[in-house]
């Protein structure tokens, strides 16, 4: 079946696309062609998006699993985490070391995972990346039942859990190939939000399952080990479903190719590094505090253990990741209206105030204020994730248009190059931003070791957020170039 499509006075034949449920290699993929999209391309893209969100959600779930598990391991008989609920400095330091390790590994894997899609295909690599989640889960389920297991073994397992963080980049890169330019923004937003929600669901489900396990067995070390085992093994069936679903139903696009030239250009562009710095403050804070939040609550408010229902719900730590995930699309939407740079300045200023409120809550020993201030901080990180991501394509587009007008280049060619560079820059920025989660947790840990308190680290965060607000203003709001060409631009989908 063929369809004739008019293109600027000429006639060309375009092969209509037939949607299939079973996965396959797609030798031809033209989502920007209306006939191709409507004849079956749309259904195929949505099918792949569904399985991509499912697999990525599990990746985030396993990535963040250590943030919750460490809060119960001391009670399960592991001496290096004993006394965490009483604020033992050594236990707190070890807990933060275990929770920050997956963050670092996940950040490091983001760049190679981005290049894996063009090389191996979205179908095969999604199945592979999902299956890899079995290693840290089965490993943890086994070694948590060996009370003499040294901490270094759990460090290795925590590092292996970092593969879940790399899934984000491969998933986003894959989905970006499936959708037309005008629909990529929404598709990538759904994909990202689906992954981020994995953090919240893990922090909600794991404490419930650990509590269930201790009730089934007993509230002793063996009971806690059983509860942790239960909370880890529950993910195995879902991982198997995600792996099978990707192999059977997802597709690979044969024409999806990596653009090495665009990566080189993006790496030499100063805005890639400026935005990486800003993304450390937004996404780095989101993922870093998400991993550390259960430990921070347990260490700072040990009396919550006396309130059964709060302890069962993980001391409500899941609320942070939940509100941060849902506020991300809002940040992008508002940035479309008022400008990403303006929104980002507001976010960093608000984050600094939120940190001051957290310090006040600790001084007053008020858990309600502490929780409320952290929730405000998480909401702002989510909004900031959306606003900074929206800034990236507009910055590259503005620079390309300015360069084209000054050098007599074709504007459409310059715009196409800008889109490719922005896509490459997003991969780099995402990886560096995620590494900020590791830096944040290590700052907390080192502050606790050297000063006997995390207060210096928190005040350092407040100062850093103000610096980031100043950097945003200086580069993207202060100059006539920024005001005229960047902050007021409509944000294109890249």
| Dihedral (CA of 8, 14, 16, 21) sign | negative
Q: How many residues are there in the chain? A: 494
Cβ–Cβ < 8 Å for 229, 76:
no
CB 24: neighbour CB atoms within 10 A? 12
57: which 2 tokens?
Answer: 């959600």
pLDDT digits (tens, 9 = 90+) for 271-320: 889 999 999 999 999 989 988 888 888 888 877 767 766 666 656 888 88
pLDDT digits (tens, 9 = 90+) for 413-422: 666 666 667 7
pLDDT confidence of residue 1:
36
Of 53-67, 111-125, 308-322, the poorest mean pLDDT is in 308-322
Q: What end-to-end distance do the CA atoms of the chain give, in Å?
A: 31
pLDDT confidence of residue 406:
67
pLDDT confidence of residue 39:
85
The span from the CA of 267 to the CA of 125, in Å, is 25
pLDDT digits (tens, 9 = 90+) for 149-159: 999 999 999 99
Question: 14 pairs with which residues across the strands?
Answer: 3
In sequence order, what are the residues at sequence separation of 6 or more whose Cβ sits closer than 8 angstroms to the Cβ of residue 304? 297, 298, 310, 311, 315, 367
Of 8-12, 90-94, 428-432, 435-439, the poorest mean pLDDT is in 8-12
Map tokens 């969100």 to a residue: 53
pLDDT digits (tens, 9 = 90+) for 130-178: 999 999 999 999 999 998 999 999 999 999 999 998 888 888 888 878 8
How does DSSP assign 98-153, residue by residue?
A: HHHHHHHHHHHHHHHHHHHHHHH-HHHHHHHHHHTTHHHHHHHHHHTT-TT--HHH
The span from the CA of 155 to the CA of 158, in Å, is 5
pLDDT confidence of residue 6:
38
pLDDT confidence of residue 204:
87
CB 404: neighbour CB atoms within 10 A? 18
pLDDT digits (tens, 9 = 90+) for 338-388: 888 899 999 999 999 999 999 999 999 999 999 999 999 999 999 998 888
Q: Where does the pLDDT of residue 451 fall: very low under 50, low under 70, confident under 90, or very high at 90 and above? A: confident
pLDDT confidence of residue 493:
33
Cβ–Cβ < 8 Å for 23, 251:
yes
Percentage of the residues of the chain whose pLDDT score is greater than 90: 37
319: which 2 tokens?
Answer: 């609320």
Helices 285-300 and 181-216 pack at an angle, to 10 degrees, of 20
Q: Give the three-class secondary structure for 238.
A: helix
| φ, ψ of residue 383 in degrees (nearest 5) | -60, -40
pTM for the predicted model, two decimal places: 0.81
What domains are defined for the chain?
34-254 (1.20.1250.20), 259-494 (1.20.1250.20)
pLDDT confidence of residue 484:
45
58 vs 30: which has the higher pLDDT: 58
DSSP character at residue 219: S
Cβ–Cβ < 8 Å for 151, 80:
yes
| SS percent in the chain: helix, strand, coil, step 5 | 80, 5, 15
The span from the CA of 144 to the CA of 156, in Å, is 13
CB 68: neighbour CB atoms within 10 A? 26
pLDDT confidence of residue 267:
82
């Amino acid at each position: 079946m063929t369809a004739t499509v008019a293109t600027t006075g000429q006639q060309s034949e375009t092969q209509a696309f037939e949607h299939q449920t079973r996965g396959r290699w797609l030798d031809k993929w033209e989502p920007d062609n209306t006939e191709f999209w409507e004849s079956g391309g749309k259904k195929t893209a949505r099918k792949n998006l569904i399985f991509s969100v499912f697999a990525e959600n599990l990746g985030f779930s396993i990535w963040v699993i250590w943030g919750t598990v460490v809060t119960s391991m001391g009670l399960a008989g592991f001496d290096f985490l004993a006394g965490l609920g009483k604020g033992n400095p050594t236990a707190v330091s070890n807990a933060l070391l275990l929770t920050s390790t997956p963050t670092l590994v996940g950040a490091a894997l983001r760049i190679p995972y981005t290049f894996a899609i063009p090389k191996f295909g979205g179908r095969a690599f999604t199945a592979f990346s999902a299956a890899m989640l079995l290693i840290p889960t089965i490993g943890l389920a086994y070694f948590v039942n060996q009370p003499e297991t040294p901490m270094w073994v759990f460090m290795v397992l925590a590092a292996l859990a970092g593969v879940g963080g790399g899934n984000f980049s491969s998933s986003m890169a894959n989905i970006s190939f499936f959708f037309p330019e005008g629909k990529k923004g929404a598709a990538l937003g759904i994909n990202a939000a689906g992954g981020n929600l994995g953090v919240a669901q893990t922090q909600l489900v794991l404490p419930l399952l650990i509590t269930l396990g201790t009730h089934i067995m007993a509230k002793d070390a063996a009971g806690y080990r059983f509860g942790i085992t239960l909370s880890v093994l529950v993910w195995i069936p879902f991982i198997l479903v995600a792996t099978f679903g990707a192999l059977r139903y997802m597709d690979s696009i044969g024409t999806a190719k990596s653009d090495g030239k665009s990566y080189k250009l993006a790496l030499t562009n100063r805005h890639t590094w400026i935005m990486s710095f800003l993304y450390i403050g937004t996404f780095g804070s989101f993922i870093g505090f998400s991993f550390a939040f259960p430990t921070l609550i347990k260490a700072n408010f040990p009396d919550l253990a006396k309130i059964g229902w709060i302890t069962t719900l993980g001391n409500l730590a899941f609320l942070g990741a939940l509100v941060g995930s849902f506020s991300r699309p809002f940040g992008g939407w508002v940035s479309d209206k008022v400008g990403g740079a303006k929104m980002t300045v507001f976010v960093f200023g608000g984050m600094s105030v939120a940190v001051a409120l957290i310090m006040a809550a600790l001084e007053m020993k008020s858990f309600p204020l502490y929780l409320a201030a952290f929730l405000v901080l998480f909401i702002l990180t989510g909004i900031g994730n959306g606003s900074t991501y929206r800034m990236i394509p507009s910055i590259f587009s503005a620079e390309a248009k300015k360069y084209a007008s000054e050098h007599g280049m074709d504007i459409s060619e310059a715009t196409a190059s800008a889109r490719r560079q922005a896509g490459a820059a997003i991969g780099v920025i995402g990886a560096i931003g995620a590494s900020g989660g590791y830096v944040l947790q290590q700052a907390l840990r080192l502050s606790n070791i050297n000063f006997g308190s995390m207060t210096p680290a928190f005040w350092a965060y407040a100062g850093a957020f103000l610096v980031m607000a100043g950097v945003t203003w200086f580069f993207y709001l202060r100059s006539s170039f920024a005001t005229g060409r960047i902050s007021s631009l409509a944000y294109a989908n890249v």
